[in-house]
Every structure is written in C-alpha cells, then in structure tokens.
Amino acid sequence: MTNKTVRPILEMNAFDKQSPQTENVARRIANTGASSVLFYREPIEMVSAEGVWMTAKDGTRYLDFYNNVPCIGHSHPAVTAAVNKQIATLNTNTRYIVPIVDDYLEALKATFPKELSNVVLTCSGSEANDLAMRLACKHTNGTGFIVTESAYHGNTSLVTQVSPSALKNTSLPEHVIAIPPPAKKYYGDNIEQGFADQVQLAIEELKQRGIKVAALLFDSIFSSDGVFSEPEGFLSKAIEVIHQAGGLYIADEVQPGFARTGTSFWGFQNHNASPDIVTLGKPMGNGFPMAGVVTKPEYLDSFCADVGYFNTFGGNPVAAAAGLAVLKEIKDKNLQENARLMGDYLKAQLQSIAEQSDHIAEVRGSGLFLGIDICHPDSADKPDPEFTVNMIDQFREEHILIGAAGPDGSTLKLRPALCLTKTEADCFIDAFAKILKAS
Ligand SMILES: Cc1ncc(COP(=O)(O)O)c(C=O)c1O
C-alpha cells in the first residue's frame, strides 16, 4: 500500500511547451493553453488514416501501434457507412424508441455473462467510471476505493481521485488506496495471493480510517501500470476478498475490451472473474465517441430511486450504428482470433530479439496488447525512461507510432488495430531489432 509518486500519464512522450514551436503548434497551444497534450518532441500534423496506417501532412505514412481506439482499423468503411446512414436519418436521445439502439444493446449484452443485463450508454470512459463508482457507493453504503499505483480511470472530479497517474502534485484522498500492480517484482511467483493480500490490507487500512470499502476498480490489463495479464486468473482471489468485505468489483474494460487480448472478448474473462460492474469505452465505436456501463439491475434500481441517470448524447442512434458495425466486423472477420495469432507471433519474435539486448527487461501481455519493459544495461531492475523516450522517437524515425506506460514511463505499450497483418507486424519487429542494434 503506497502513496507513491508516479510519472503523470500525460507527461509521457509529451511535447515540451518550452521547446521551439512551429506555427501550427503555437496555434494549438494558443487555443488550448496549459491543457494542450501533444505527443512527441516535434508534434506530427496528421491528415488522414486507413487501416493500421496514419498519414502526416508531409506525406509520411506511419504504422499506428499506439492507438487502440480504431480497433477494426482507421476510417473503417463499415463504420463510416453506418454512421452516415444513421445521422442522415435520425439522431436523438434515448427518450424515444429507436430500435437500432436496442439492437445494439442486445448485441453488446450477448458478449457478457447473463447477470449483467442492464446497460447505460455514455460518451466517454470517464463518464462510465464516474457512474460505476456512484453505483458502487450507493449499493454498499461505502466510499472507499482500491486501485493500482499507476491507474488511470478518467477525468471527472470523482474519477480523477482514483487515478493516481493523473495527479501531478497532490496525493490520493483518504478514501482511495493504491496498491502495487500485479507484477512479479512486488509479489514474486504467487501474484494471485500477494495481490489478494494487498487488497485485504487496503480494506483494513480503510476501516482504520473509518471508511467502508465500496469497490475494487481495476483496468483488466493494468495498462497504465505497464500491462499485466499473467498468470491467467490471478485476479480471482482479490475479487473473493472484496466480496467478503461487502465491496464490489468494477472491471474497467476501456483499454483491453472488444477482443484485444485475443484469448477472450473482455479482459476480465481471462481471470475467470465475475464483475459486478463493467465499464467500456475507447474502441467501442472505432473512434465515434461512445462508452458505457454494464451491470446488474439491482445496482441501477437503488441508484435510480435516488437520482436517476440521463445523458443527452449517450446511447444516441448514431453511436448505436457505429457500435453495431464494430461488433459485426470483429465477428465477421474473426478479429479476436487475429489478435491472438498476431499477438502471439509479435510477442514471440520480440522476446527472441529482447534476449539479445540488455536494454529489455521483459516483453509481456496478451493478444495485441503488449508491454515491453526498458531497463538500464547494467540491471534489469533499473527502469530507463530516458532510453524509452529515445526509442519512441527512433520508432517515429522508422515511421511507427508507439507510446509509454508504467510508473516511470519505461514500458513501451503496443496496441495496434486488431486487423494487423503479419507484414505489418514484421515492420514493427524489424524496427525494434534495428533500434536495439544501433543502441
Ligand atoms: C483504463 C481507462 N479507463 C478510463 C479511461 C477514460 O476514458 P475517456 O478518456 O474516454 O474518458 C481511460 C482513458 O485513457 C482509460 O485508459
């Protein structure tokens, strides 16, 4: 249990506003001020994208290994057609019956365990987590939350409090406890037991502070902590512990959801876990902003008896059209299986290159969600964030986009579109080998 300082997620691979600025960069910063969040030492101006590729203004085509939002590929024609058709026909809120919305809700629910039979659609993952937290507080009469040390769950006031990696200068509030992520370096070989013990300690610590626990809130692949998916099932004990204490388990699927891990459609399924509440977002509309909460009716019943929930844009028919197109494409093109095959291939190739390099401590992850730990050559236990940023810049020189994660920003995070081909995977593998060889 810690109040450890972690590197803010928005600072990773970020443009330094003190650096010289091109006209367009200066224009952006003049418009968005301190909230500007540009990537790279020299930001890139993008003009279009297709499949796993993005095209910059200077004509350079970049292989996008960063963005898990366009999960079926950038500018996908099926989503474009569905959105165009629906927006030209009808777009309104959920206070009318529009069957395409229920078509979507039913298609989405078919991917979940039966008991999770109610869905609330929102526009962002932050809104989804905000509602999930409120449901948990209402149901348990508790206010305490347990998260991981570098977690990020969104940007509302409530959700920022449970996002240690969003906090630059403040520490976590009293009702939030952050525990180390499920890594061997903290728990040795028995991650499942060690992690469950930390959850138990956190519950007791909250109790000592006079706070009743409301929920565990975990990203099912711990992406901002550095990507942790193994060993399969390691969350089960922690979930038993929270349930015994009367708290809920909220699975944040904003990052790993929609087939990315290859082995299952939802990240929590890799843990044989039964969440009480699941939150979704990012890839849900392949870039069309949509997100949601999937839960058991009883949690919504008691919450809605008090305040109810309405979201002007959440669950609009155009979002439903986009969401349906995404689900259909994943199924029709067997993209979950492609994620598994391409992910296994990438991981094996990268692991074999890593064996030849003293800059790589570990390659891990599941399907097309991989993490590569970058370390100092003298010790696998010494993270090297500077070398990581240099690698990100060198990948850019190789026309590949990639980002960082982890408490110090020393884990490369790989999340290409699920339609990745072997040729595209090979582009990344070759660049990885080249960059390490030159270092
Ligand atoms: C795990 C996780 N949960 C929630 C969110 C918030 O989603 P949004 O940015 O759509 O509000 C993010 C965003 O990065 C995330 O990574």
What DSSP line would sit under 76-119, residue for residue?
-HHHHHHHHHHHTT----TTS--HHHHHHHHHHHTTS-TT--EE
At residue 376 the predicted structure's pLDDT band, cuts being 50, 70 and 90, is very high
For residues 44 and 304, give the distance between their C-alpha atoms in angstroms, rounded to a whole number: 45
Q: Tell me how far the alpha carbon of residue 357 lies from the centroid of ligand 1, in angstroms.
A: 33
Over residues 134-148, mean pLDDT: 98
Burial of 52 (0-12, 13-18, 19+ CB in 10 A): buried
User: For 77-332, CATH number?
Assistant: 3.40.640.10
Over residues 109-128, mean pLDDT: 98
Provide, rounded to the nearest whole percent, the portion of the chain with pLDDT above 90.
93
* pLDDT beyond 90 at 12: no
Q: Tell me how far the alpha carbon of residue 153 lies from the centroid of ligand 1, in angstroms.
A: 5
Give the tens place of pLDDT for each residue, 13-26. 899 888 989 999 99
Residues in the chain: 439
Q: Tell me how far the alpha carbon of residue 65 lies from the centroid of ligand 1, in angstroms.
A: 18
* pLDDT beyond 70 at 264: yes
pLDDT at 186 (0 to 100): 95
pLDDT at 273 (0 to 100): 87
For residue 327, give both structure tokens. 């689900």
Domain 9-74+334-438 -> CATH class = alpha beta
Q: Using CA atoms of 62, 63, 65, 66 in order, give the dihedral in degrees to the nearest 10.
A: 20
pLDDT at 2 (0 to 100): 54
pLDDT at 1 (0 to 100): 55
Give the tens place of pLDDT for each residue, 326-337. 999 999 999 999
* pLDDT beyond 80 at 136: yes
At residue 249 the predicted structure's pLDDT band, cuts being 50, 70 and 90, is very high
Over residues 98-126, mean pLDDT: 98
Nearest-CA residue for atom 4 of ligand 1: 153
Nearest-CA residue for atom 7 of ligand 1: 125
Give the tens place of pLDDT for each residue, 150-183. 999 999 999 999 999 999 888 999 999 999 999 9
Instruction: Provide the angle, in degrees to the nearest 10, between the axes of the packed helices 317-332 and 99-109.
Output: 40
Pocket residue to mutate for ligand 1, from 124, 152, 228, most atoms within 8 A of Cβ: 152
pLDDT at 62 (0 to 100): 98
pLDDT at 3 (0 to 100): 61
Nearest-CA residue for atom 3 of ligand 1: 153
Under 8 Å between Cβ of 108 and 327: yes
The pair phi, psi for residue 281, each rounded to 5°, is 180, -130
| Ligand 1: lining residues by beta carbon, under 6 Å | 124-126, 129, 152-155, 219, 252, 254-255, 281, 291
Tell me the domain boundaries of the chain: 9-74+334-438, 77-332
Strand pairing category for 411-414 and 176-179: unpaired
Burial of 167 (0-12, 13-18, 19+ CB in 10 A): middle
Equal CATH topology for 9-74+334-438 and 77-332 = no
pLDDT at 272 (0 to 100): 86
Q: Give the CA angle between residues 152, 362, 346 to the nearest 5°.
A: 90
For residues 182 and 201, give the distance between their C-alpha atoms in angstroms, rounded to a whole number: 15
b (16+ CB within 10 A) / e for 184-195: eeebeeebbebb
Report which of 149, 196, 206 is spatially closest to residue 9, judged by C-alpha positions. Answer: 149
Euclidean distance between the first and final Cα of the chain, in Å?
37
Give the tens place of pLDDT for each residue, 43-102. 999 999 999 999 999 999 999 999 999 999 999 999 999 999 999 999 999 999 999 999
